[in-house]
Structure 1
Amino acid sequence: MRTRGDAPPRLEPFAAGPVAGIAAAAAALLTALSGRYGFHRDELYFLVAGRHLAWGYPDQPPLTPLLARLGSELFGATPTGVRILPALLAAASIALIALIARELGAGRDGQVLAAAAATCSGCVLGNGHLLSTATFDLTAWLTIILLALRLSRTGELRWWPLLGLAVGTALLNKLLVLGLLAALAAGVLTAGPRGLFVPRPRTLLGPLLALLAALPFALPVLYWQAARGWPELTVAHGISAAGGTEGRLLVVPLQALQLSPLLAPLWLTGLSRLLRRPQLRWARPVAVAWVVLCLLVTAGGGKAYYPSPLLYALTAAGCEPFVHWAREHRAKLAGGLLAALLTSALAALPVLPASALAVPMTVDPDLGEEVGWPELAHATATGWAAVPVEQRATAVLLTSNYGEAGALARYGPALGLPSPYSGHMGLWAWGPPPATATGPVLLVHPAGQADLEEHFTACRTVARVDNGHGTANMEQHAAVVLCAGPHRPWTALWPLLRRY
């Protein structure tokens, strides 16, 4: 925080027109491509969770399911309808990155470059294409970073409540934002401005105002998690275990790849600029925070994209120095941005035929998870037809994971299928089946993951899923298995089926 006698650095006017044009073009591109494949497994889950609104779920707070419900009701329960809000959030993120560049001294051209670079990056495009918790996290975290920079630059008390409001809103989406706050605090402690932590009435009042602004959002979410033993931490532990040592070592390389390797000169320049320029010492905690959060994610085994909003802040910081170079190398800059846009679109957006996803899925496996859900429902309907008509009143449809359950909830009614059950994530709380549902039981599970069958008798495979494109996603060749019934009553079995 600057001392009271220092005048904060003067900001250049915001390039609102061109930045808005770039953001609108990005939103238009995302909307145009939104229906090329189909729903992602997470979106199908969020649509189901949105019909069971609560202050939390085992894997997340309530905001993303609420956005799924809002999008489907406003724009239709189609991939395009659900993805309009993510496209708008991506546009907002692009504008926020330009505002961060302005906060760090960029003029009109530097702000436009920051917006253009963000639009050409894989992370913004990928988050804007799908509705996921990462979609809102990117926008919320960029807002927090912008407000933290504004607070550090000006030292004005009025930014604290807005910062608290932004943090509280982010907590409605993921508890992960607490990691961002810890990283920013570490940046302030190690790189200044340390005046934020001096115990004076003025410095204590700001954080208190922020806390009061955040509490109305944070308390219900934290209480829900605490009352249930912090299941989100259990989910995080599972993510860490699944990532393994290789995932930990790839945190920074994967971020650079997801941003775009062609944009590396910008964020490397921004990192150097924040760490070395005395005039930007007040903004240095952001650079330190990125390093700290990368270390935390590496140690904790989190996903590589978690620190990406801070990497975008570094990219924004590097744009102004490139403006002078760009004036003499416009063709090179335009060519680099175009190449970044094309490669990012290939990696993050549904531009290729579904049958040609093998290469982009090595960078972003989520693209493959948008393919094959109607086919899974049809294969399940084939299995349901094997259930004798007189036994269907007591039959149960049970899936291994929330993607399968979401797909059957979405496409099953038109095929005459009953509502599915599952012990995965939030769906476990919406079971068990009634005691009168003694069987048969129709199971759906990925190929090679037959653990679910051990709880049931006389199981036989009656159908297999084929997505029709040869896409090697999780549900390709999934098994539809008909069993006579459960080994024990559902009330005894249900606790054994719960998994995160």
Structure 2
Amino acid sequence: MGETASETAARTRAPFAAGGVGIVVLVQTAVLTVLSGGYGFHRDEFYYVAAGNRLAWGYVDQPPLTPALARLATSLFGDTAPGLRVVATLAGVATALVLALLAREFGAGYAGQVITAVVTALSGYVLVVSHMLSTTTIDMLVWSVLGLFTARLLKTGDGRWWLAIGAATGVGLLNKWLVPLLLLALAVAVCITGPRKVFRTWWLAAGAAIALAAVAPVLVWEARNGWPMVTFAGGISENDGAENRLMFVPLQIAYLSPALVPVWIAGIVRLWKTPRLRSFSLAYPILCVVLLALGGKPYYSLPLLMLLTAAGVQPALEWFARHRARRWWLVAAGLGAAVSLAIGLPIVPAQALGPVLALNKEQGEQIGWPGFVTTVSDAWRQVPEKANAVVFTSNYGEASAIEHYGAAHDLPAPYSGHMSYADWGPPPDRMDGTVVLVGAFDRPARAFTGCREVAVQDTGIDNDERAPPSPCAPGPRPLGRHSGRASATSPDALGRVAA
């Protein structure tokens, strides 16, 4: 029986569209760089910088790679948002390049490769995580690289590709522990659809050894510290699992771009018709089922959906050409790109972000931090005896923002019981003076005595810093306006906080 057109296209490779893809990534680099200052640091970026200043093999909520990259970037390019985000820009550009190469593996010609780079660079998910540094930024690139290496393994049957897969897996595990979910989904899919012979080689064990060697120091750190990242992941599932499951399907469509839905569907169909690559089509629903069972966040599966989009560009182009529907698709793609740009990049005035925050709340988490620290400084100046006084925050974002901007305001190093700040230590016992509380605390108000509100800062932006009316009041912190609250308390409060 002869090969199908899909099999022939996947088996052969067109020349790489270096010129066209190169132009796309140059434009992508320029846009991301020009807008990298944007609204300012994201709360998580402050935290990565703080963690990078305390390099370790692990943290409560993440492995060490992203903090290490944050330290490298700020050392080389400056301790500013644009300096930090050089890493994010490079990761976003590399992702567009890798997916263009992957489209080539899936049978795309020159135009298909170039358009793959374009739709990757303009998709909402990629814009969001390429604008700001996060563990998801690196994870997106790692999954794309793993997709490319896996495609080469399945197409050629050359077991040596397991070495590259193992190395990429090791890097991924140093950044975020989601890579095993991708490998699990692909492994189950290959077992079902083939070619199963790729497992019958000692190169697989060699690749696994490389991955294990890379992540071994992190595993040792985790074991010595009671596996905090496992506990943290369980907390995400417990706290947000129901909402994640409810919104999983709608956000799969919204996060990447509704205009790309026909493209990734075409990719699923194309790969399903290609026996050696059929496992990619099946891996996506397998991964979705696993994430729904675990209560994982909807965006966890998007890197795999991007691989399917890369597979679908060429057949989508062919379909549009046959049906003369290119004009309508261009209109839809243009509208989708405009929405993605508004959602992912800081081009909307801060005070007009309301509709944008419905799809990308991370924009709001980048606004108001210099003013927030100024407000804390105003409260600190009201402390009569500062030698033994303490600034204590309710969360890592507040603490790391104060750590970043505080020196310019003569603020002391902040303390917090949130995330890795809890590991970085309570105040020394000698610090038994006034405590400046920053934020809203879930613990009972009786933990602090003589509490009075002395300063309030509000930017009017909906984000995680909106506090209840009284900063000493118990209860959860709701989402809403960026409102940093600071209070001076009596010395008795410190003993309770430090206990």
Query: TM-score, normalising length from structure 1?
Result: 0.91
Structure 1 stretch displaced more, 458-467 or 159-168: 458-467
Residue 469 of structure 2 corresponds to residue 477 of structure 1: no
Q: How much has 1:329 moved relative to structure 2?
A: 4.8
1:182 aligned partner = 184
Shift of 1:454: 3.5
Pairwise CA RMSD of aligned residues? 1.8
Quick one: distance in 1 between partners of 2:439 and 2:228? 23
Name the structure 1 match of 2:443.
451
Separation in structure 1 between the aligned mates of residue 434 and residue 416 of structure 2, nearest angstrom: 16
Partner of 2:214: 217
Q: Tell me the alpha carbon deviations over residues 295-318 of structure 1, each in whole angstroms, 9 at most, x when there is no partner.
A: 111111111111111101111111
Q: 2:334 and 2:444 mapped to 1: Cα distance?
A: 48
Gapped regions of structure 2 (runs ≥ 5):
1-6, 466-481
Q: Distance in 2 between matches of 1:337 and 1:92?
A: 22
Residue of structure 1 equivalent to 2:306: 312
2: CA distance between counterparts of 1:116 and 1:376? 38
SS at match of 1:232: helix
Distance 1:179 1:37 in 2: 34
Residue identity opposite 2:490 in structure 1: A
Distance in 2 (alpha carbons) for counterparts of 1:265 and 1:330: 13
Provide the identity percentage: 43
Q: Distance in 2 between matches of 1:17 and 1:213?
A: 35
State the shift of 1:293 in Å.
1.2
Would the aligned equivalents of 2:159 and 2:198 in 1 still touch at CA under 8 Å?
no
Q: Does 1:464 align with 2:467?
A: no
Equivalent-residue separation in structure 1 for 2:119 and 2:38 (angstroms): 25
Amino acid at match of 1:294: C
Mapped contact 2:21–2:114 kept (Cα < 8 A): yes
Find the aligned partners of 1:28 and 1:223 in 2 and give their Cα distance. 41
| Contact 2:146/2:168 (8 A) holds in 1 | yes
Match of 1:37 among 24, 36, 39: 39
Aligned counterparts of 1:454 and 1:165: Cα–Cα separation in 2 = 52
Per the normalisation by structure 2, the TM-score is 0.91
Give the conservation status (yes or no) of the 8 Å contact 2:29–2:89.
yes
Q: Measure how far apart 1:113 and its partner are.
A: 1.7
Evaluate the alpha carbon distance shift between residue 258 and residue 477 of structure 1 in structure 2; reply closer, same or farther with a 3 A threshold.
Answer: same
Q: Which moved more, 1:353-362 or 1:68-77?
A: 68-77
Where do 1:5-404 residues align within 5 Å? Answer: 9-197=11-199, 203-275=200-272, 277=273, 280-327=274-321, 328-388=324-384, 391-404=385-398
Taking a change above 3 Å as real, the CA distance of residues 21 and 257 of structure 1, as seen in their structure-2 partners, is: same
Displacement, 1:331?
3.8
What's the CA shift for 1:252?
2.5
The offset of 1:487, in angstroms, is: 5.0
Asked if structure 2 preserves the Cα contact closer than 8 Å seen for 1:249 and 1:298, the reply is no
**Per-residue Cα deviation, 1:362-395 (whole angstroms, up to 9, x for no partner):** 001110000011111011011101100xx21110
Range that drifts further, 309-318 or 22-31: 22-31
- Confirm or deny: 8 A CA contact 1:120 1:338 kept in the other structure: no
Separation in 1, partners of 2:66, 2:445:
32
C-alpha separation in 1, matches of 2:370 and 2:312: 45
Aligned partner of 1:200 in structure 2 is none
* Compared CA separation, residues 378 and 211, structure 1 to 2 (3 A): same
Q: Is the 8 A contact 2:101 2:148 kept in 1?
A: yes
**Kept after mapping to 2: 8 A contact 1:423/1:494:** no
Q: How far off is 1:42 after superposition?
A: 0.1
Q: 1:234 to 1:454 in 2, by over 3 A?
A: farther
**Contact map agreement 1:252 1:294 (CA 8 A) in 2:** no
Q: Which amino acid aligns with 1:295?
A: V
Q: Cα deviation per residue 1:317-368 (whole Å; 9 max; x = unaligned)?
A: 1111122244455544443332221110111111100001110100011100
Distance change in 2, residues 1:111/1:425 (3 Å): same
SS state at 1:481 partner: strand
Code of the residue aligned with 1:424 in structure 2: it is H
Classify the secondary structure of the residue corresponding to 1:472. Answer: strand
Q: What corresponds to 2:3 in structure 1?
A: none
The one-letter amino acid of 1:323's match is L
Task: Measure, in 2, the Cα distance between the counterparts of 1:188 and 1:481.
Answer: 58
Measure how far apart 1:249 and its partner are: 2.4
In 2, Cα distance between the equivalents of 1:70 and 1:326? 45
Higher RCO structure, 1 or 2 (CA under 8 Å, sep 6+): 1
* Residues 400 and 452 in structure 1, CA contact (< 8 A), matched pair in contact too: no
Deviation of residue 204 (structure 1)? Answer: 3.4
Q: Against the structure 1 CA distance between its residues 450 and 212, is the aligned structure 2 distance closer, same or farther, given a 3 Å change threshold?
A: closer
Q: What is the one-letter code of the residue matched to 2:436?
A: L
Give yes or no for contact 2:159–2:201 (8 Å, CA) kept in 1.
Answer: no
Structure 1 position 87, deviation (Å): 0.8
* Offset of residue 234 of structure 1: 1.4
Q: 1:113 to 1:440 in 2, by over 3 A?
A: same
Give the Cα–Cα distance (whole angstroms) in 2 for the partners of residues 488 and 260 of structure 1.
49
The DSSP-based 3-state class of the residue aligned with 1:477 is strand
Alpha-carbon deviations, 1:229-267, whole Å to 9, x = none? Answer: 211121112222232423212213202111000111100
User: How big is the shift at 1:486?
Assistant: 4.4
Tell me, yes or no, if the aligned pair for 1:350 and 1:367 is still in contact at 8 Å: yes
Between Structure 1 and Structure 2, how many residues are aligned? Answer: 474
| Distance in structure 1 (CA, Å) of the matches to 2:284 and 2:492 | 50
For residues 454 and 304 of structure 1, the distance between their equivalents in structure 2, rounded to whole angstroms, comes to 39
CA contact (8 A) 2:58 2:218 kept: yes
The answer to whether the 8 A contact 1:120-1:337 is kept is: no
Amino acid at match of 1:220: P
Look up the SS of the partner of 1:438 in the other structure: coil
CA separation in 1, counterparts of 2:462 and 2:492?
31
Deviation by residue 1:181-202 (Cα, 9 ceiling, x = unmatched):
11111111222122234xxxxx
Q: Conserved in 2, the CA contact under 8 Å of 1:119 and 1:341?
A: no
CA distance in 1, matches of 2:58, 2:234: 18
